[in-house]
């Protein structure tokens, strides 16, 4: 597994090697990188609201039909059916609460691909103890502009990080 992650990240980052930072001046393709960054941050805020509402349809709608989703400890989910099934099981956890935010947004020069990288904190039910637990980590989401102008996640990978501080 540790070998596969660097290979996956190389596969994702090589096409994005020509990315401009959200702070870059000018436009990329037909897109202003600052505008795209704002759109993606808005999409992530909506995504967080959809998690709070446990709305499977809206959550699955953030992904393209051929997207891949990888969560810590779970098998890779590829395609709409697998992602919808995984999300349905995930949001059924009564203890589920997710908070996430991007720390970096970059937009490809073409204006058709971008990525957000950030951090998350998640409260869920531990499968072994059946008690609530809190986890944290980082994520990388690769976005692709769709023909209707919307942005959809095509690759969404989360990795565990340091233990989240315990609530007092």
Give domain status of residue 167, yes or no. no
As a whole number of angstroms, the distance between CA 98 and CA 122 comes to: 4
As a whole number of angstroms, the distance between CA 110 and CA 6 comes to: 25
Give domain status of residue 108, yes or no. yes
Find the CATH number of the domain harbouring 76: 3.10.450.50
DSSP string for 119-143: EEEEEEE-TTT-SEEEEEEEEEEEE
Give domain status of residue 166, yes or no. no
Residue bearing the bigger pLDDT, 32 or 2:
32
As a whole number of angstroms, the distance between CA 71 and CA 76 comes to: 7
Q: Comparing 23-37, 69-83, 114-128, which segment has the lowest mean pLDDT?
A: 23-37
Structural domain that includes position 117: 4-160
Give domain status of residue 165, yes or no. no
Give domain status of residue 145, yes or no. yes
103-124: average pLDDT? 95
Give domain status of residue 136, yes or no. yes
Q: Is residue 7's pLDDT more than 90?
A: no
As a whole number of angstroms, the distance between CA 8 and CA 1 comes to: 11
For the entire predicted model, the pTM comes to 0.79
What integer best gives the mean pLDDT of the chain? 85
Give pLDDT, residue 22.
42
Give pLDDT, residue 74.
87
Give domain status of residue 152, yes or no. yes
Give pLDDT, residue 28.
46
Q: Count the domains in the chain.
A: 1
Q: Is residue 56's pLDDT more than 80?
A: yes
């Amino acid at each position: 597994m540790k070998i596969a992650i660097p290979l996956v990240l190389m596969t994702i980052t090589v096409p994005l090697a020509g990315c401009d930072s959200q702070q870059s001046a000018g436009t990329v393709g037909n897109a202003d990188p600052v505008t795209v960054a704002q759109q993606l941050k808005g999409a992530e805020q909506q995504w967080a609201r959809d998690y709070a509402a446990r709305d499977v349809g809206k959550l699955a709608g953030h992904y393209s039909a051929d997207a891949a989703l990888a969560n810590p400890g779970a098998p890779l989910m590829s395609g709409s059916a697998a992602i919808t099934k995984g999300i349905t099981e995930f949001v059924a956890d009564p203890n589920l609460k997710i908070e996430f935010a991007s720390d970096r947004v970059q937009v490809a020069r073409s204006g058709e691909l971008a990525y957000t990288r950030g951090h998350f904190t998640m409260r869920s039910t531990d499968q072994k103890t059946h008690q609530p637990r809190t986890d944290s980590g980082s994520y990388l989401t690769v976005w692709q502009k769709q023909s209707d102008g919307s942005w959809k996640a095509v690759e969404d990978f989360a990795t565990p990080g340091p233990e989240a501080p315990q609530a007092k």
